[in-house]
Amino acid sequence: MQRAILALTTLAAPAVATAAPGDWVPTEQESALLQALSLRDGSPSCGEMEAGLPNATASLTAVVAHVSMPPWAPMRAAECLVAGHAVEVRADVVRWVTDPGLKGLGILALSRLDAMPADVAIEVASAAIERGPDPAGARVRVAKAANPAVSGLAVVKP
């Protein structure tokens, strides 16, 4: 059962994997964001978590780039980027679906095509099918999109 009674407070130093100290030092608000992203059962809504962040896109992007533990923290941050900031981070999302080292983010993005503006979703889906590491898997996920202009991209042309 999700039991996410939210009261954002400061957080102990987050676990990060890819950045050296100094690359990104979370602010107090970002530490609170990290704590909310770390809840095991699930997190509060993106809107709740982004409240109080001066630049939510930058903070969420930093989490995706720098945090690896718990493993769902960057995934949830990516979810919020896709849901609310897809236009701003479209180049990042395209990279997620084409870089084999970002398979998790890529699957997540392809599962959330309906949350993106149509033009972004089409660009992301096309990139995954044409340049991604798993075109067949991408087609399966793209085909589930509600927007026919997006799901139609999964059809293999003769």
Where do contacts with other proteins occur on this chain (CB under 8 A)? 1-7, 9-21, 35-36, 38-45, 64, 66, 68-72, 74-76, 78-79, 101-108, 111, 144
Q: Give the nearer residue to other proteins in terms of CB position, either 13 or 87.
A: 13
DSSP code per residue over 123-152: HHHHHHHHHSS-HHHHHHHHTT-SSHHHHG
Shortest distance (Å) from residue 158 CB to other proteins: 26
Per-residue DSSP letter, 157: P
How far apart are CB 13 and other proteins at their closest, in Å?
5
Q: Which is nearer to other proteins, 49 or 158 (CB)?
A: 49
Q: How far is the CB of 124 from other proteins (least distance, A)?
A: 16
Q: How far is the CA of 94 from the CAs of 48, 88, 131, in angstroms?
A: 26, 12, 10
Tell me if the bond preceding 70 is cis, omega within 30° of 0: yes
Nearer to other proteins, 66 or 90 (CB): 66
Q: Least distance (Å) from other proteins to the CB of residue 50?
A: 13
Amino acid letter for position 80: C
Give the alpha-carbon dihedral of 36, 37, 38, 42, to 10 degrees. Answer: 90
Residues 6+ apart with CB under 8 A from 133: 98, 99, 100, 103, 106
Contact call for residues 3 and 43 (beta carbons, < 8 A): no
For other proteins, the closer of residues 77 and 153 by Cβ is 77
- CB closer to other proteins, 5 vs 91: 5
